[in-house]
Amino acid sequence: MALHLSLPIAYNVVSHMKATKPPTDSNDYAVARALNDCVMQIFSIVGFYQIIGPLKEFNPVELNRMYILLVAELEDIYNRNPKLAEIKPEPTWKQFEIIKNSMYAVQKYLEAHDNGREHRDAVDKICILSGEEAPEYTPKQRKLIDDTGIIAEKYYGLTFDAVKEIAAKNSDKKKALPARFWYIPEYTIIYKLDGTILINNALKLKKIHAGSTTERLLEQAIKNPGALFKPNLGATSRNLSTVLSAAGFTPTMRALFFPIVNEGKGIVFRPEVTRDKALADKIDTFKLDMELAEAGAYIKIRPTDELVALGIAAPDEPD
């Protein structure tokens, strides 16, 4: 069973609840983006069901009900907004009226259509160009967002608990780490204006204080991506390694984003590192991958042949 799904950036969609107003095109775009994220969460859970199998607490009726309510609201928004209705490719939710009896069909469709990510990115572009990216939800929309967050957290938790249980049973100091059915395709780092450091737009490190040595280091690094340079940290007794460690960078994160840290020569900063590059550099990301996935980072399911070869999945067959 092949899957190429993604987990949304986080369990809960960030929102801004304000007084309810009549719908406007620009606000509709922002709401549509958030609701599409919710549908992507539901589809991702369906994918996990296909890989792991029916966990005891798995409830297709609960997922189906949430899906129907989300799609009904999205249909209303798209029907009154031609810009959304005209986006190609169409959203994945247009292909399925219900999902409780169509888990296998949903999975097979997602294999070729990236869980609606391309459509969602097109909606995001419209939001940015409209100048209104923070949605104002109606009470009904707010409830849809909150309920999806509760369901997603529940099922993601069940999934990763199951993976941890399998890992605990099948691995020890003498054995290789257990294979996973998913992987992190790319590692990214963002330093925000408020001092927040985000790994893969999901995992938060320590917040950096304005004017600190760490802030000076990161600001200079961002201006010199991929280049070896010696940062000017001002009057400080701390070395480069200490500054990075104090900011929350683990050895794995340092290996990914700061492959060279040398007091004499300087540092090299790379804001994006592909999985292939991490493997080529022999960086062990096993622990970091789990932390990122649990934080809600984007993941992908391994190809069918790999899953079958590892014994994680059986050869492709319907429900």
pLDDT at 253: 95
Residue 123: what pLDDT? Answer: 92
Q: What is the pLDDT of residue 285?
A: 92
Q: What pLDDT, on the 0 to 100 scale, is given for residue 291?
A: 87
Q: For residues 1 and 236, give the distance between their C-alpha atoms in angstroms, rounded to a whole number.
A: 55
Crossing angle (nearest 10°) for helices 139-170 and 25-52:
30
Per-residue pLDDT at 8: 44
Confidence at residue 247, expressed as pLDDT on a 0 to 100 scale: 87
pLDDT recorded at residue 74: 97
Q: What is the pLDDT of residue 196?
A: 87
Domain ranges of the chain: 25-170, 188-272
CATH placement of domain 188-272? 1.10.10
pLDDT in tens, 148-206: 989 988 887 777 776 666 555 655 544 445 567 778 889 999 888 788 899 988 888 98
Question: What DSSP string runs through 93-131?
Answer: GGG-S--TT-HHHHHHHHHHHGGGHHHHHHHHHHHHHHT
What is the pLDDT at residue 282?
93
Chunked into runs of 10 residues, the chain (319 residues) has average pLDDT values of 41 40 75 92 79 70 95 96 92 92 81 78 89 89 93 80 62 52 86 86 85 87 91 79 89 95 90 93 91 79 66 54
Report the C-alpha gap between 231 and 262 in whole angstroms. Answer: 11
